[in-house]
Amino acid sequence: MNLIHALLLGLLQGATEFLPVSSSGHLAIAQYFIKGFEQPGVLFDVVLHCGTLCAVLIYFWKDVCSLLTAPWASGNDGVVRRRLLWLIIAGSVPTAIIGLTFKDALTSVFHNIPLVCAMLLVTGTILFAAERWRRGARSQEQLTLADALITGLVQGFAILPGISRSGSTIAALLFRGVDGAVAARFSFLLSMPAVAGATLISLKDLDGLAAGQLPLYLAGGGMAFVSGLLSIHLLMAVVRKRRLAAFALYCWGAGAVFFMLS
């Protein structure tokens, strides 16, 4: 992998992490067509996800600060903030269980391009159904424990390349009658513990990193951060305007095209 490859993969990660089209699926397909691409475990992918995690931290900085100080907040505002914090913690539990239990089995299929393409078709179907049958407009204050656990469960299985994490978690909340903007915000906040945990687990793969590759990994992560900030803004506009169906068409088309090419 050279610098151009690292930057292009970082750009792809940032652009697709928050748009509901599966960043892991796009990375797997792109890496398949880069001759000789190798990485220890999924370390490079995790570095790119760290870049987009930083984008979430910046974009939702006020929300993050609100959650971090929630345990000491007083009054009704403190109650509301602590409730959201506990919902995020609760939603992170099924994600962690699935990730730790099935990590090796799920990441082993990252190079199975026909499967990745099939999962893109599944993502497209999920998005289309969510847009077609979304109902209600529950606010953040109306989120329930069941909402958090179901979203965390969906996020856990979204480790499968081709299944969009943001798309599937937002869709799950839309099916449950949550407002689109609230669903997107909760989805992004819920992603932070998962990405941070995956990063810590992947630190063991640093020993297998080839000499001179670290600057390329950091360059890719930086590009993912910049493009990620832009794509978050775009997705927030998309869910407000109810245009997820366009991304369903894209996933169906991309899945079919790359299935034939592979």
Query: Domain boundaries in the chain?
Result: 3-261
Average pLDDT of the residues in 75-98: 90
Would you state the pLDDT for residue 188?
A: 85
- pTM score, two decimals? 0.83
β-partners of residue 106 are none
CB 46 within 8 A of CB 199: yes
Burial zone of 76 (CB within 10 Å; 0-12 exposed, 13-18 middle, 19+ buried):
exposed
90: tokens are 């609760």
CA dihedral 197, 164, 155, 47 (to 10 degrees): 0
Average pLDDT, whole number, for the chain?
A: 84
Rounded to an integer, what distance in angstroms lies between the CA atom of residue 236 and that of residue 181?
6
**Model confidence over 191-229: pLDDT tens digits?**
888 878 877 766 666 666 676 777 888 898 899 999 988
Q: Is the pLDDT of residue 48 over 80?
A: yes
Q: Which band of pLDDT confidence, cut at 50, 70 and 90, is reported for residue 107?
A: low
**Model confidence over 123-167: pLDDT tens digits?**
999 988 988 887 778 888 889 999 999 999 999 888 888 888 888
Would you state the pLDDT for residue 167?
A: 87
Rounded to an integer, what distance in angstroms lies between the CA atom of residue 85 and that of residue 74?
14
Would you state the pLDDT for residue 169?
A: 92
